[in-house]
């Protein structure tokens, strides 16, 4: 009844169907693993955001170990600011906020230890700028960016790992002085900074006065001066991965059922033709 299935053309069909089935199943398990990764990440972010902010000494001690950075990412830290290396300012291009194109404004900062005897360099991502302001910064136009960064003596922010290029994505030149980067690559920025930067950066949540009170940015834009917007916290949604998991496993089920029906239909067709011949 199913002797036709041993013909070369059907053997090729079996191989194609089996290959597609394997791809669908692998894709389904990969999306499931991505869903679990996102869930674990969201749980870690929620837990770490609720922890007491680190001080400068504990921050420096922790980031000295690469494994420590992984355990600290998204925890908050309060850092005193001694001075800013404005000449080392770098714009992180192609960053949007609420659907508006722009960039992130990153500045190396000298941060003293709690006893003020030593200091270290920390890359501070102060916020987001609209595209027009980014272009003005690049051409050195005399534009004042409204930000309390220059007045603040403390910043509170999220600890973030240095970003690295994956398999895809734009690559930044390894040599030379760069004014823009495709990602927050602390190691690359450190090569052109006057400060010795620690291998992590801080995403500002608030700027503070010496007494710890928050400096509220001015919002009057009547003169067209851009306001440096704080970067919002990471979204904690689960993303589309679970839906994709169901989709790929559904494809696998359809492939199994569909191909079985095709074989059954062909077998019955062959049986009918044989009866007619008899």
Predicted confidence at residue 81, as pLDDT, reads: 87
Average pLDDT over residues 15-38: 90
Predicted confidence at residue 92, as pLDDT, reads: 93
Number of structural domains found in the chain: 2
Question: Do both 165 and 64 map to the same domain?
Answer: yes
Q: Is residue 161 part of a domain?
A: yes
Helices and strands, counts by H and E, the chain = 6, 8
Q: Which residue has the tokens 């019955």?
A: 268
Q: Is residue 175 part of a domain?
A: yes
Residue 221: pLDDT band (50, 70, 90) is low
Pairing of strands 180-181, 90-97: parallel
Question: Do both 128 and 199 map to the same domain?
Answer: yes
Residue 116: pLDDT band (50, 70, 90) is low
Average pLDDT of the chain to the nearest whole number = 82
The region, left, alpha or beta by phi > 0 then psi within -120 to 50, assigned to residue 74 is left
Q: DSSP letter for 46, please.
A: H
Question: Do both 181 and 249 map to the same domain?
Answer: no
Q: What are the residues facing 49 on neighbouring strands? A: none
3-state secondary structure of 235: coil
d(CA 213, CA 274): 90
Question: Do both 63 and 124 map to the same domain?
Answer: yes
Task: Read off the tokens for 262.
Answer: 């095709």
Question: Do both 187 and 70 map to the same domain?
Answer: yes
Percent of the chain exceeding pLDDT 70 equals: 85
For 99-129, give the DSSP string.
TEEEEEEEEEEEEE-TTSS-EEEEEEEEEEE
d(CA 229, CA 100): 12
Angle at Cα 153 formed by Cα 147 and Cα 157, nearest 5°? 70
The separation between CA 9 and the C-alpha centre of its own chain, rounded to angstroms, equals 47
Q: Is residue 229 part of a domain?
A: no
d(CA 267, CA 275): 12
Pairing of strands 154-161, 197-208: antiparallel
Predicted confidence at residue 32, as pLDDT, reads: 92
Residue 41: pLDDT band (50, 70, 90) is confident
CA atoms within 13 A on the CB side of 142: 0
Q: Is residue 44 part of a domain?
A: no
Residue 141: pLDDT band (50, 70, 90) is low
Task: Read off the tokens for 99.
Answer: 């659907």
Q: Is residue 99 part of a domain?
A: yes
d(CA 5, CA 79): 71
Q: Is residue 83 part of a domain?
A: yes
Average pLDDT over residues 220-240: 75
pTM: 0.76
Average pLDDT over residues 28-55: 88
159 vs 7, which has greater pLDDT? 159
- Domain of 62? 53-208
Average pLDDT over residues 189-206: 90
Q: Is residue 30 part of a domain?
A: yes
Question: Do both 170 and 65 map to the same domain?
Answer: yes
Predicted confidence at residue 204, as pLDDT, reads: 92
Q: Is residue 226 part of a domain?
A: no
Cβ atoms of 21 and 13 closer than 8 Å? no
Task: Read off the tokens for 24.
Answer: 């669908």
Task: Read off the tokens for 266.
Answer: 């062909």
The domain boundary residue, chosen from 208, 224, 259: 208
Q: Integer distance in angstroms from the first to the last C-alpha of the chain?
A: 15
Predicted confidence at residue 14, as pLDDT, reads: 80
Question: Do both 149 and 182 map to the same domain?
Answer: yes
Q: Which residue has the tokens 């003293």?
A: 112
């Amino acid at each position: 009844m199913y002797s036709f299935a041993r013909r070369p053309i059907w053997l090729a069909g079996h191989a194609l169907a089996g290959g597609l089935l394997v791809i669908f199943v692998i894709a389904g398990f990969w999306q499931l693993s991505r869903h679990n990764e996102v869930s674990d990440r969201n749980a870690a972010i929620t837990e770490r955001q609720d922890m007491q902010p680190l001080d400068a000494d504990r921050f420096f001690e922790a980031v000295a170990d690469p494994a420590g950075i992984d355990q600290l990412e998204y925890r908050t830290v309060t850092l005193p600011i001694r001075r800013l290396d404005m000449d080392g300012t770098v714009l992180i291009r192609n960053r949007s906020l609420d659907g508006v194109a722009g960039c992130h404004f990153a500045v190396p900062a000298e941060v003293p230890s709690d006893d003020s005897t030593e200091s270290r360099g920390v890359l501070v991502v102060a916020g987001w700028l609209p595209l027009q302001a980014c272009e003005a910064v690049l051409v050195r136009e005399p534009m004042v960016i409204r930000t309390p960064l220059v007045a603040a003596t403390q910043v509170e922010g999220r600890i973030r790992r240095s970003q690295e290029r994956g398999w895809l994505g734009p690559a930044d030149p390894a040599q030379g002085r760069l004014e823009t980067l495709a990602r927050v690559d602390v190691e690359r920025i450190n090569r052109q900074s006057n400060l010795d930067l620690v291998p992590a950066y801080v995403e500002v949540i608030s700027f503070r006065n010496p007494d710890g009170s928050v400096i509220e940015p001015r919002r009057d834009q009547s003169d067209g001066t851009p306001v440096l917007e704080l970067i919002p916290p990471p979204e904690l949604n689960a993303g589309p991965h679970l839906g994709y998991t169901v989709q790929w496993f559904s494809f696998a089920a359809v492939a199994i059922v569909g191909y079985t029906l095709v074989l059954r239909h062909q077998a019955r067709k062959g049986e009918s033709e044989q009866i007619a011949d008899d």
